Structure 1
Amino acid sequence: MMNLQAKPVITVFEHSPDEGKGMARDMRVRWALEEVGQRYDVRPVSFASMKEAAHRSHQPFGQIPTYEDGDLILFESGAIVLHIANHHTGLLPQDADARARATSWVFAALSTIEPPIVEREVVEYCEREESWFEQRMSSVDDRLRNRLKDLSHRLGEADWLDGAFSVGDLMTIDVLRRLAGSGLLEEFANLLTYVARGEARPAFKRAFNAQLACFNAASTDCNQSPIANHKESMK
């Protein structure tokens, strides 16, 4: 039997390399917790401590985030977000078939959409000085455009991917946010507004502000979720 404590704890970067832009993978976990109204704490970890045995016992690859809830310890943001969605209302439909479709979009976001985005980031930051950089980047962008074209076609004029907002939208939008500044998302107007629609959700704003406060070290409450004092009903 899972022993659920009052507030789960997630690990986050002590000093996020994204400079507070909310691109680290703890953002999607924070967002999911805010959407379902679950309070949480965070434990910042340094790059050095992430590689030590204590952290690796929770995350064998020395990454973030991890999720601790009583005796339950999880790693991989997709698994964590699905766990949250399955144990709280608000991110998965009641209908079994619709729940399965929402889950498939989580896997599509992580397995089909995110890999070429990450590849693009690696090329941009690690291969820029190579003589073949422009050709390599062009090839990666073309493959990524194909993915975005398919996604754009599937979304069409709908607000969300499959009816009401779900965990599938949360994960897909968070993945697409990594394209900020690339100019690629702007080629697909419906995807651009889709991301903006997700970022306009109150739960997203709370999650974003919480991670930014931790980055700026401007709040003594950065180890607590903003929902702790949130009085409005969840939307």
Structure 2
Amino acid sequence: MPVDANAPIEVTGFSWVPPFARGHVRDIRVRWALEEAGKSYRTRLFHAMKPRPELYFEEQPFGQVPAYGDGTVQLFESGAIALHIAQDCETLLPADPAGRARATTWVIAALNSVEPMISELNTIDVFSAGEEWARLRRPGAEDQIRGRLAKLGDWLGDKTYLEDDFTVGDLMMASVLRGLDGNPLMDEQPRVARYYAHCIGRPAFQAALAAQMADFTEEAKEGELA
């Protein structure tokens, strides 16, 4: 669904981030869930390098994005928001209790069992590049990711998705795997690479990505991270 300035759902995001982060800010997970659910939303944007308004900390205690409001609930954390959106969308959460539980399990697995390792590698390569500790730590960080991806590939086998059909669990797992975009570690696991490509090939993801990219309208200012 298109971004609609009059929609009751509001999602916070950024109007500027460094080029390497564009398309990867975590509000894209919420946008993707809303696209899958067929719900319009409006955005409220901040510049990533400027302080947030003090009132924003009442919505998001850590000042991060995304935050979500729909007139009934106010939420933060992309996993919690995606699960909330999924509650009345059978594309994201199956109707049967067992299927819903499994989808929820995969959301938590993506955030707890996979994302921390990928985030560590990104910290090493992007924010701590050239530091001695990062050089020493990198081989171990890569090996941890290899182990996780191998297990994920074993689980997938020849399946298209983690369970019988696409769910919010796949949305979150694929979102986490985006942290390996362009990294050969993904290519080492063809089953995972195939699964990832299938997920981000969904029209709802492509719409969410285009919408986030369109919101990056501010240019970097002198003295700021570019």
TM-score (structure 1 length as normaliser): 0.85
Which residue is equivalent to 1:223? none
The 1:49/1:60 distance shift into structure 2, 3 A limit, reads farther
The 1:111/1:13 distance shift into structure 2, 3 A limit, reads same
- The answer on 1:164 being equivalent to 2:143 is no
Matched AA of 2:90: T
Alignment of 1:1-235 (within 5 A): 6-18=7-19, 21-47=22-48, 50-216=51-217
The 1:28/1:70 distance shift into structure 2, 3 A limit, reads same
Which residue is equivalent to 1:224? none
State the Cα distance separating 1:214 from its structure 2 match: 1.3
Q: Is the Cα–Cα contact under 8 Å of residues 50 and 63 in structure 1 kept in the other structure?
A: no
The farther-off stretch of 45-54 and 90-99 is 45-54
State the Cα distance separating 1:208 from its structure 2 match: 0.9
Q: Distance in 2 between matches of 1:128 and 1:6?
A: 42
State the Cα distance separating 1:197 from its structure 2 match: 0.6
The 1:48/1:215 distance shift into structure 2, 3 A limit, reads closer
Query: Gaps (5+ residues) in structure 2?
Result: 1-5, 219-226
Q: Is the Cα–Cα contact under 8 Å of residues 17 and 48 in structure 2 kept in the other structure?
A: no
* Number of residue pairs matched by the alignment: 213
Matched AA of 1:122: T
Matched AA of 1:197: H
Q: Distance in 2 between matches of 1:74 and 1:150?
A: 32
Matched AA of 1:89: E
The 1:103/1:173 distance shift into structure 2, 3 A limit, reads same
TM-score (structure 2 length as normaliser): 0.88
RMSD: 1.8
State the Cα distance separating 1:129 from its structure 2 match: 2.0
Could you say what secondary structure the match of 1:87 adopts? coil
Q: Is the Cα–Cα contact under 8 Å of residues 16 and 215 in structure 1 kept in the other structure?
A: yes
Q: Is the Cα–Cα contact under 8 Å of residues 7 and 41 in structure 1 kept in the other structure?
A: yes
Q: Is the Cα–Cα contact under 8 Å of residues 50 and 56 in structure 1 kept in the other structure?
A: no
Report the identity percentage.
43
State the Cα distance separating 1:75 from its structure 2 match: 0.3
Matched AA of 1:112: S
